[in-house]
Amino acid sequence: MTKRQFHLALLKAKRELDVLKKQRLTQRKRRHGVKKIALVGYTNSGKSSLLNYFMQHQQKHVLEKDMLFASLETQSRQVLIGGHHCIMSDTVGFIQGLPHHLIEAFKSTLEEVKEADLLLHVIDSASDDVMMQIETVEQVLKDLGIKDIPILYVYNKTDLRRYALIKAKQPSIFISVKHQIHLDLLENKIVELCFNEEHHCFFKVPYINGAIYQELRHHCTLLEESYEDEDVIMEVRCSSAIFEKYQAFRLMH
């Protein structure tokens, strides 16, 4: 990429970010109570490919393309990980020397990252500049004011076998999205880090409280439900927030 092409890409990105700001706010309001996982990483590290893997049984995939800012818009999808429903967001790929004015513009679309319960820092383990790329991503996160969110370091592209000398940051896992190596272990690790505080419980919801029933269906992982004369009995896994919010409807077992 020439210097002129680089600057044109930055200008185009800035314009698109302004349009996306309002869209992000509207979408975030709909996801209260659902676990959120954000994919971050250097450009072309494999974030979009990883999101598409978790969406493999759904029709709508996200763009995978080897180009600067291919994933400019934060793509968020509902996925199922280890039996748990959550929202996974694929963010713009970071680059070294990102201009300050563009970092400011990114803040509007990267609010998804600030609200995440877990960050997956996807790393190109085959890159000659792997340490520089890791440091760049960490610096951009710092510049965006993102802190105190658990991070799992996901070293991708291990099929290229250039990762043996990497001193991995912890907690970490080595995978290959392309060849689906250790993705089951990644899924287990996400469950361990993100869903340990979930509650297994039962709710008894009267039919007249249809709105509450719909909210529980939307925000919980439904395991089973049965129907009585005036109530529906729901066996679910839910977050602490939902557990406390609807304690009046909980059944004690």
How do the domains of the chain map onto residue ranges?
A: 3-194, 199-251
More confident residue, 24 or 215: 215
Residues 14-41 have pLDDT tens digits of: 566 555 554 554 444 444 557 889 999 9
Q: Per mean pLDDT, which of 79-88, 112-121, 223-232 is the most reliable? A: 223-232
Angle at 47 between CA 160 and CA 107, to 5 degrees: 140
19-50: burial string, b at 16+ Cβ within 10 Å, e else: eeeeebeeeeeebeebbbbbbbbbbbbbbbbb
Alpha-carbon distance 205 to 67, whole Å? 50
**146: its two tokens:** 């993102």
- How does residue 167 score in pLDDT terms, banded at 50, 70 and 90? confident
- Cis preceding linkage at 171, omega within 30: yes
Phi-psi group of 157: left, alpha or beta (phi > 0 → left; psi -120 to 50 → alpha; rest → beta): left
pLDDT tens string 57-76: 555 444 444 444 444 456 78
Residue 92's pLDDT band (cuts 50, 70, 90): confident
Quick one: pLDDT band at residue 202, thresholds 50, 70, 90? very high
Instruction: Determine which of 9-13, 114-118, 132-136 has the lowest per-residue pLDDT on average.
Output: 9-13
- In angstroms and rounded to an integer, the radius of gyration of the C-alpha atoms of the chain is 20
User: Can you give the pLDDT at residue 231?
Assistant: 95
Q: What is the DSSP letter of 92?
A: P
Fold of 3-194: Rossmann fold (3.40.50)
pLDDT of residue 139: 86
Query: How far is Cα 72 from Cα 10, in angstroms, rounded to an integer?
Result: 11
Average pLDDT of span 122-142: 90
What is the value of pTM for the model shown? 0.66
Q: How far is the C-alpha of 109 from the C-alpha of 79, rounded, in Å? A: 20
* Cβ–Cβ < 8 Å for 203, 253: no
